[in-house]
Structure 1
Amino acid sequence: MSSRVGANLPAVGGYNEAVILDAIRRASDGISRVELAERTGLSAQTVTNVSRRLLAGGVIREAGTVITGVGKPRTLLQLCPDGRFAIGVHLDPSVVSIVLLDLAGELLDHRVLDVDPDSTAQHTLDEIALETRAIIGAGRVLRERMLGAGIAAPGPLREESGTVLNPPLLPNWERIPVRDLLSDRVELPVLLEKDVTAAAVAEQWVADGNRENFAFVYYGTGIGFGLVLQNEVIRGASGNAGDIGGFAVGYTDASGRSRAFGESVSPTSVVSRALAAGIELATPAQRTGGFHLLDEFTALALAAERGEPQASVIIDEVIADLANSLVPVANLLDVDRFVFGGPFWAPISQRALAELRRAFAASPMLVGAHAIAFEESAVAADVAAIGAACLVLDHALSPRPARLLIAHRG
């Protein structure tokens, strides 16, 4: 992974701070000021000045010294994990996840709200805000060190207004200004991002290794993908990239029409087909709402693993539809790996990964000249919530050349 290069202009102190923070974050064992200057292209004086500010702000810390030959030992700098914190929220149609991350991206708190999909947006936001305030007030963080909150939501979104437009599985959330409403309730800056994009950001932050070109396939109440090319998350013209639900799958329904991929593989549709086929999907009586759907879907996947014929047919149809939809994605975008995650992915993961590898190897439609890897996410099931918090950290820590641009006022 290439290092970011800074600029020695007095007007870009914020950008240079982000360049240095990014370099320190990536050096888990610490990095000296001399190495920072070499890695970032900044002058030694700029590195010294910025480091002094970051140390005073509690964002970085000195972590011992290292001797690298003749001369004075070099002091190592490290990110200070408890220097700043971020909240992440995933607004799923049935289950809301809330997480707290420190500056190093470590998960410090994780809470789940089982919500009624028929609840009003205002009521759900009140519940999210109440739980968020409880996390902040639990004593693990200083409020003044909170960077803000990120919220990951199903699309489509309107970036400039922070609004959820008309998410198909959230009938009471049409044109709701989620960003501002949550910000008012928690009294923090809030970022809004599409959930599949947030999942891709989380994977970039948490996973080790070469993840420069990949599609993150998010399997939740709906399905979509987040895309990373050349280490950059691709959001699209309006921030709504990644919707693959409209792809046509390779078989028809009872009326003879092709079914949309999103409709075919949605857990609600899959469970409904199983129940209509007479498959018994017992769930714990005390679980309701989104948990109920996840329990039923998990029971169906387990039945398929036991070799029950009807369950196997339904789960294998889901996997076949997934393979048929991802082959053109691989051809179009030339990614070298697919990463899978989300709450409904875990129950089918082992079966699906093996079948996807086989289906891609046998597909006459695949035109790529390189191998494609299929991997499970390095992040937990709440990858979108973690990604939402990572967005806040990324906004604070990652350098963006756009910050150097000065708007022309005519």
Structure 2
Amino acid sequence: MVDAARGSGAAGTTGAGEIFQILRDGRARTKAELATLTGLARSTVSGRVDALLTAGLVRPAGEAVSTGGRPPARVAFNPAAGVVLAVDLGATHATVAVADLAADILVSNTHPLDIADGPERVLDSVIAEGVALLERCGTAPERLVGVGIGVPGPVEHSTGRPTNPPIMPGWDRFDVPRYVQRTFDVTVLVDNDVNILALGEQALGWPGVQDLVYVKVATGIGAGIISGGVLQRGAQGSAGDMGHVQVPFSHDSPRPPGDERDLEAIASGTAIAADLRAQGIDAAGSSDVVRLVRSGHPAAIAATRQAGREVGEVLATVVNMLNPSVIVIGGSIARAGEHLLAGVREVVYRRSIPLATQHLGIVQSQAGETAGVLGAAIMVTQQVLSPSAVDARAIRA
């Protein structure tokens, strides 16, 4: 049996990943401080820190104040040790970014595309954009450690394959990681776009919140669930698919009692547009709904607020079951103004138990177009900087 404190093969490298997790907060520390925090012998800590220095994951960070004798050296996380390519695919756009290992976005670009063009055409465009951004950053290809991609449909996260995505013809079971790895021979992770938006929203606006639900209301409706500080994907990766939940009937709703449609068919941007067309109003899709609401159109405002109430009917169950601290409402319809949010609040606060709502915040997303790529970068760094991955990198170094 190998003593983990001594390492195996490369002395001091096994266990380096645990030391590294302490340093990921960006604060510089001495080896003595790390020994105190971990309870490990100073010689053990020294070997592991040296391995991290050799691997480039930490860097010298000056000297601490001396208490007598030579001042002790400090080390800190080195976010520049590698980069991540992050991609957020929507129905009609793609945002591609390069981030460092702290998931800070270095450069990004958003361009139009049609997800229905199919995986090869869309991914070829994204890969070309990624190559151009890496060159723009002056980043050597060997510094790329991973690629994270969010797509607007269900994903089997363990394989990175979209599964029956309704607005992504030609993508079902397509091996996205393998296709991307033909160009970038690194870890490639794929997830539903709402999950990566939840990660990005938490990092940007709610870094101290451990229980958060992000709801996207746009062409479709979905939720990303962070519980206990961990993104919850479920057994097959379909957790948060609230758009396909049948909406409970309410006597306050204009819907007939026998209406068994799911939430997406009732309250998405597409559904709101269809409701407006039935009233003789020109609205082809979500963008027209947003335009009409922003212009103060009474029927569009009323329909959007009612959509918020229907979303609230489903969210009230989520609140009672999961007890989040914050619900963030995002997506194109949420950006039309406060009307959707007002409808959500009206129902959630009325139908959820008081204990679950006494400190519950229901807020509008404040994240910009980089929230998705930030979440994709976080998804990758969580894996490539995990204790076991760092141990493996330290051994290779």
TM-score tier after normalising by the smaller chain length: 0.7 to 0.9
Q: Which residue of 2 aligns with 1:259?
A: 261
Deviations 1:333-357 (A, max 9, x none): 1222213334553333x44445544
Change (3 A) 1:10 1:319: same
Residues 107-118 of structure 1: pairs in structure 2 closer than 5 A: 107-118=105-116
Q: Secondary structure at the match of 1:368?
A: helix
Q: Which residue of 2 aligns with 1:286?
A: none
Residues 278-289 of structure 1: pairs in structure 2 closer than 5 A: 278-279=280-281
Change (3 A) 1:356 1:157: closer
The 2-side partners of 1:253 and 1:359 are apart by: 16
Matching of residue 320 in structure 1 with residue 291 in structure 2 = no
Post-superposition offset of 1:87? 0.9
Residues 257-336 of structure 1: pairs in structure 2 closer than 5 A: 257-279=259-281, 295-303=287-295, 306=296, 308-336=297-325
**What letter corresponds to residue 265 of structure 1 in structure 2?**
A
Change (3 A) 1:355 1:116: closer
The 1-side partners of 2:123 and 2:6 are apart by: 43
**What letter corresponds to residue 155 of structure 2 in structure 1?**
L
98, 114, 122: which one aligns with 1:124:
122
Post-superposition offset of 1:112? 2.1
Q: Secondary structure at the match of 1:161?
A: coil
Change (3 A) 1:139 1:367: closer
The 1-side partners of 2:186 and 2:154 are apart by: 24
Deviations 1:189-217 (A, max 9, x none): 31122222222333444445421122222
The 2-side partners of 1:346 and 1:247 are apart by: 23
Post-superposition offset of 1:236? 1.0
Residue identity (%)? 26
The 2-side partners of 1:71 and 1:275 are apart by: 80
Q: Which residue of 2 aligns with 1:24?
A: 23
Post-superposition offset of 1:175? 1.9
The 2-side partners of 1:74 and 1:354 are apart by: 56
The 1-side partners of 2:36 and 2:205 are apart by: 26
The 1-side partners of 2:15 and 2:286 are apart by: 45
356, 380, 386: which one aligns with 1:392:
380
- Checking the alignment, whether the CA contact within 8 Å between 1:15 and 1:399 is kept in structure 2 is no
Q: Which runs of 5+ in 1 are unaligned?
A: 1-6, 282-291, 405-410
Q: Secondary structure at the match of 2:243?
A: coil
**What letter corresponds to residue 8 of structure 1 in structure 2?**
A
Change (3 A) 1:155 1:34: farther
Change (3 A) 1:203 1:46: farther
72, 75, 78: which one aligns with 1:77:
75
Q: Which residue of 2 aligns with 1:231?
A: 229
Q: Which residue of 1 aligns with 2:54?
A: 56
Residues 161-200 of structure 1: pairs in structure 2 closer than 5 A: 161-200=159-198
Post-superposition offset of 1:234? 1.5
**What letter corresponds to residue 164 of structure 2 in structure 1?**
N
Q: Which residue of 1 aligns with 2:395?
A: none
Aligned length: 382
332, 348, 351: which one aligns with 1:363:
351
Post-superposition offset of 1:47? 2.6
**What letter corresponds to residue 311 of structure 1 in structure 2?**
A
Residues 73-152 of structure 1: pairs in structure 2 closer than 5 A: 73-152=71-150
**What letter corresponds to residue 321 of structure 1 in structure 2?**
E
The 2-side partners of 1:369 and 1:344 are apart by: 24
Change (3 A) 1:58 1:116: same
The 2-side partners of 1:173 and 1:36 are apart by: 47
Q: Which residue of 2 aligns with 1:8?
A: 5
Q: Which residue of 2 aligns with 1:407?
A: none
**What letter corresponds to residue 338 of structure 1 in structure 2?**
I
Q: Which runs of 5+ in 2 are unaligned?
A: 393-397
Worse-matched range after superposition: 337-346 or 115-124: 337-346
- Greater than 6 Å deviation, 4+ residue runs: 12-15
The 2-side partners of 1:29 and 1:203 are apart by: 23
Q: CA RMSD in A?
A: 3.1
- Checking the alignment, whether the CA contact within 8 Å between 1:343 and 1:381 is kept in structure 2 is no
Change (3 A) 1:116 1:135: same
